Every structure is written in structure tokens, then in C-alpha cells.
Amino acid sequence: MRIAYQGEPGAFGEAAARLFEPRWEPVAFRTFDDVFEGVERGPVHYGIVPIENSVGGSIHRNYDLLVAHHVPIVGEVELPVVHELLAPPGATIDGLRRVYSHPQALAQCERFLGTLKGVEIVATYNTAGSAKQVAEEGHADAAAIASARAGELYGLVRLASGIQDYDDNVTRFLVIGRRPLARGVPDKTTIVFSLANEPGALFKALSAFALRGIDLTKLESRPLPGQPWQYLFYADVGAARDDLACGRALAQLAESAPTLRTLGSYPRWRAAESR
């Protein structure tokens, strides 16, 4: 099996893919759009994309892509993220003038970056891609924030380790694929729905789950394209789609929601990790 991730070898997406299934072959794609298209069109069997970080928050682009593509969520994985400050051999922290990394990584290391005076912070498309760029250019005044594995792959030295703002820095990834996985019993469902813009609409929608004792572990809103000030609501439901109570809750929600779509029903990571 081949699983797509965004970035370069050494990216956290690659690490998440290996954590989810060490026997699969990770395949690098440049953008998240490419990952979804690769799974949808068939060059790869599955894809893995970050959806939220415990410090930096949601990755909004991937919420939008879940709606734009008809590739269901089939699993998830939670990856502890440790950031390293990496530079070419001979570089020093005092000599740095530029630091490159993905915007999420930069957000997760704000306090450390605040201690670097006179250093330009440059956002890039990928953490490992930043490490690769710094290695190829070889400037002693440039560094990247990336994984330890990226440093090893591209021959960089570690100037500082564990520079993320919080030790419990975890990124949750979703696994997408055209076919379900035969591992674990689904106990989590991700849905997306729209609502009429009227008083109490969201309260009524969520009450369908509250009245049945079903936990909502995540709620996210995103703008509805082409309809200013209208929104799509994404929710993670702590139950399987085929669970009787969940099915009835979704049926009740459908009565008031102009649109409702199930994006996937899958084992949550704690269940999956005990397989």
C-alpha cells in the first residue's frame, strides 16, 4: 500500500504515516490538494493530512478539501511533535539572520522565536522542505525549524532542540482513502452541515446529539463559498455512523439542516493504537 503525505521526506506527515502503518510506503506530494487528488485518482491508496494541532489550532485548508473531494476519512493518528532548530555545519544561533518553516510550526514555536533578535522569520510550504532548502543553499546565517529526522536526512546540525512552546504539542492527522480499513471498530464520525441563519439554529442542531448522550469532540465553522456570512459546520461525533442513537441524531439534524454529509466513520486513535 502507498500513502500520500504533504511535503518532503522528513516531514511530520511522513512520520504520521509511518506511525499509522509502518508497512506502507509513504509518498511525498507538494501540496494538500495534490494529496487529495492523488487518492481520488488512484496513484496512491491512502493519504494522510493534518487537521488540527493542540497549540496552533485547525488546519483550515484541509477542512475545505474534505468537502471539495469525495474521499472519506477512514482513520486518524495523533503524532507528538518535537521541533528542532537546524542549520548547516558551523552555524551558530547568534549568527542567524533568517529562520524558515511552515506557518503552523512557526506558530508552535513563537516564544522561542521571540528570543531571536534581528532574525527574519520566513513562512514556507513545509518543515522538511525548509530543512532541504537550508541545506541546499548552505548559508551559515539561515536555519530551519523541522524534525530531527529532517536534520539527519539533509545533513544539518541541531542548534536547539524541543523549541515548541509546549511539551504536549500534538498534531492530529486524518487518514483518507477510497476503501475502508479493516482495523478496529468505528467509534467516531465526522460530519459537515449547513444551517439556516435564524435564532437558535445551532442550538437545535446540536441538541440532536445532546438529548441522546452523544459527545461532540470537535466543532469547527468555515465560510460557505459564494455565500457571504453563511457557514459550514464540521463536527466530530463520539459514535459510529451505524450506531442506532447516532443514526437517529443525524436523521433529526437532517430535518433542519439544508445540507448534511458524513465525511467518514472510523476508529478514534486510542482505539486504533491498541490493535
By annotation, the residues acting in catalysis are 171, 173
C-alpha cell at 241: 455512523
Instruction: Kindly give the interhelix angle for 12-20 and 127-137, rounded to the nearest 10 degrees.
Output: 130
